[in-house]
Structure 1
Amino acid sequence: MGSGDNRGAERRNAREWAVDIGAFLFAACFLVLSTDQVVIEPGTSGTALALDQLRGGLACAALFLRRRRPVELAVVLLLLEPFSHFMAGPIMVALFTVAVRRPPRVTGYVAILAFAPLPFVLAHRPDLDDPRTGSALTYFVLLAATVGWGLYVRSRRQLIASLRERADQAAADARREAREDVAREMHDVLAHRLSLLSVHAGALEFNPDAGRDQVARAASVIRESAHQALQDLREIIGVLRAPETGDRPQPVLADLERLADESRKAGADVRLDLEVDGGLEAAPAVAGRTAYRIVQEGLTNARKHGSDSGAPVTVTVRGGAGRGLTVEVRNPAPSPGAGSSARVPGAGQGLIGLAERALLAGGTLEHGRVDGDFRLRAALPWPGTAPAAAPQAAPAPDTTH
């Protein structure tokens, strides 16, 4: 491991210190409780036994290094095991640490070293009644259980980390989608209102000799549009501040008449051609809302980029259950090179946002010049079954001769 890992290991938090102390106490208690089960070779002096126990205690104390050097610690303890009868507890803790904190390949190498004496023990065909045989087999069973438990803990931690990462990514995606939804909503709503403001303000600026009635009418539209823009902005901000209280009311297809009236008050010549099975109220909410936003953006673009503020804008809506909903907005396109300094500037994001809206609704959007007009056309799904055609009457029999 690099120096960064070492510095991180030195700065243990309270939980890590508690875990390390618990590991030390486990190894120490295992040493004390298994003392009576350790088979002492005949002729072993009391001094040698005390030194053996001291080595076991030092091995327990060395476990505080397991976070910095888990593999090295495990290898050293395994190499010292033949010279001490009290290494089982520290070795189990060290092997568990390696299995949890290191890749399975490294764990496998350390496990091979740990189980290397087992073939030699079995090769000598030990007597099962010999206490030393039972002690050795118990030792290897404990090592196997320790490695298996460590690998399980490692896999579980990786699973939890993966799930947490997916949850964080999902939350980030949700926040990004929410920001995009709010951006589209603010663009669609405010661009429409502010374009009305700009058109009338521009008319007042470039027509200073307008009569009092015209000025009053333009000022009224400006005031109403500004009030509506502030109201829409307040509603959007309210949703952002308290999203759990519910979404703001969304427009439907039946609101197209109101939208067209607003543009007509601003001086636009908006012509509606609506033919929807069952009436505008019958359109699905998603398709109706998307169609409304498409028409709204089309009218805004006509004011911004149209060849003439008084040129007609034709809005055509056709559709029904089972055959989808088609929305088309057409207005005369400006001639190449034509422009006016009074035109409303655009951010260039409106059509991109509409394409995203149409895609989210399951439809498609296309735009461009057609026969001298700028056309904005969308096809949106309308699930259902189209009404069956009326049966045709059978032809009358021919009685002429």
Structure 2
Amino acid sequence: MDRTLGRRRSARDWVVDSIAFTVAVLLGLVLYNDGEKDPIPEWLLALDFFTGMALCLLLWFRRRWPIQLAVLSAVITVFSEAGGIAALIFTMTVAVHFRLRVTLALLGVNIASMTAYALVREKNEPILTVIITTAILYVGAVGWSLYVRSRRQLLQTLRDRADRAETVAQLQAKQAQMRAREEIAREMHDVLGHRLSLLSVHAGALAYRPDASTEEVGQAAEIIRASAHQALQDLREVIGVLRAPAGELPQPTFADLPVLVEGSRRAGVPVELELDAPGTMPDHVGRTAYRIVQEGLTNALKHAPGQPVSITVKGAPGNGLQVQLTNPAPNRRSGQRQGQGLIGLTERAALVDGRLEHGRTPDGDFRLAAWLPWPS
């Protein structure tokens, strides 16, 4: 059954129903006047008129009881010509809103009604001519109704597809927004985590050196001020991406790696860097290597402040890039959980088809190692 049946009548439905009622009444009266010439009793002629007009009035309820009224009209048109057009409209209504088998069954009922009509009304024309003419009229009306039904189904299918496409597009947009937010959160963690770790180291040095000279305090304060200023600048750049959708996240490059290491050295962390990676490196690989080193230095500053860090970055086109950081491992409590930084690094490495591992070495040091693809 069509989903439009039973719903509240729209303005278009009111117009269509009004036209159908008017046409049924006018043509029904024409047929009734023509049928007055038939050799039938007066009481049957009066019954023809009143039942025919009743069928026309029932057209206003054809959307509520379409099949019931169509069957009733088929019975009444056995003797009524005034209700012939109304019966045809009832049949068309069923053909538009119901399956083909229901329509064919109703068409069979109407053909039987036509045969009985030809016998009851005693037409001057041959019975076969009356049956064939009326059958052609009904088949044509049903065919047109089936075309209307198929067209409505096609339009509804196109609307459903459009709605699904819009829903999928909205979901994809939300997913893209979530991925962008995750990327921004990762950038904020990488950028600000390292800067704030440097601030923590210098502030801790001042706290544990109450006997420091004025010059040393001034130098440490200047480093803290510069690091805080840079952290604020990095934060502004990241937040700026949120305000400008067309912008891109500020991304470091592999060439910035020595500057990153030098900043940690100025913070008092003894860092040893071995860099051997000649050739032109893809941006995404170099950026991932930078983030791995940055996260490793941040973890060293947090968990093993003042301890030496050894960094090795080696590779060549076609062989891949190997990144390794080692530092003395802190004595962690057994219940301490792994931070989100290492999880994020693992995801970063996987995104460029690389791999990352971390853990304690047999010597008791903490080791962070990654291999990244470097196509030739």
TM over 0.5: yes
The residue type paired with residue 256 of structure 2 is: D
Tell me by how many angstroms 1:239 deviates: 0.8
The 1:93/1:128 distance shift into structure 2, 3 A limit, reads closer
| Matching residue of 2:166 | 164
The 1:347/1:181 distance shift into structure 2, 3 A limit, reads farther
- RMSD of aligned C-alpha atoms? 3.3
Q: 1:204 aligns with which of 199, 203, 206?
A: 206
Q: 1:332 aligns with which of 328, 333, 338?
A: 328
Tell me by how many angstroms 1:29 deviates: 2.5
Query: 347-356 or 193-202: which moved more?
Result: 347-356
- Residues 238 and 250, structure 2, Cα contact 8 Å, conserved in 1: no
CA distance in 1, matches of 2:345, 2:91: 65
What TM-score results when the alignment is normalised by the length of structure 2?
Answer: 0.79
The residue type paired with residue 380 of structure 1 is: L
| Matching residue of 1:14 | none
1:137-178: CA deviations, max 9, x gaps?
113213322332233233223222221221121011111101
Give unmatched runs, 5+ long, in structure 1: 11-16, 67-71, 99-106, 339-344, 385-401
| Matching residue of 2:316 | 320
CA distance in 1, matches of 2:190, 2:88: 72
1:6-55: CA deviations, max 9, x gaps?
xx967xxxxxx7xx221232243345457649966834747844653453
- Provide the secondary structure at the position in 1 that maps to 2:238: helix
- Residues 271 and 311, structure 2, Cα contact 8 Å, conserved in 1: yes
What percentage of aligned pairs have identical amino acids? 41
CA distance in 2, matches of 1:347, 1:212: 40
Q: Which has the larger radius of gyration?
A: 2
**Matches for 1:179-258 after TM superposition, within 5 Å:** 179-244=181-246, 246-258=247-259
The 1:92/1:316 distance shift into structure 2, 3 A limit, reads farther
Q: 1:112 aligns with which of 101, 113, 121?
A: 101
The 1:221/1:53 distance shift into structure 2, 3 A limit, reads farther
- Residues 333 and 374, structure 1, Cα contact 8 Å, conserved in 2: yes
- Provide the secondary structure at the position in 1 that maps to 2:251: coil
- Residues 186 and 236, structure 1, Cα contact 8 Å, conserved in 2: yes
The 1:248/1:175 distance shift into structure 2, 3 A limit, reads closer
Q: 1:369 aligns with which of 336, 360, 365?
A: 360
1:111-143: CA deviations, max 9, x gaps?
433320334667979659843122111132133
What TM-score results when the alignment is normalised by the length of structure 1?
Answer: 0.74
The residue type paired with residue 368 of structure 1 is: G
Count of residue correspondences = 339
- Provide the secondary structure at the position in 1 that maps to 2:220: helix
Residue 78 of structure 1 pairs with residue 74 of structure 2: no
1:256-305: CA deviations, max 9, x gaps?
01100110110011111111122xxx211111111111110000000111
The 1:119/1:228 distance shift into structure 2, 3 A limit, reads same
| Matching residue of 2:40 | none
The 1:220/1:370 distance shift into structure 2, 3 A limit, reads same
The residue type paired with residue 14 of structure 2 is: F
1:342-401: CA deviations, max 9, x gaps?
xxx9992111111222222222221111232211122222223xxxxxxxxxxxxxxxxx
The residue type paired with residue 59 of structure 2 is: A
- Residues 92 and 142, structure 2, Cα contact 8 Å, conserved in 1: no
Give unmatched runs, 5+ long, in structure 2: 37-43, 77-82, 116-126
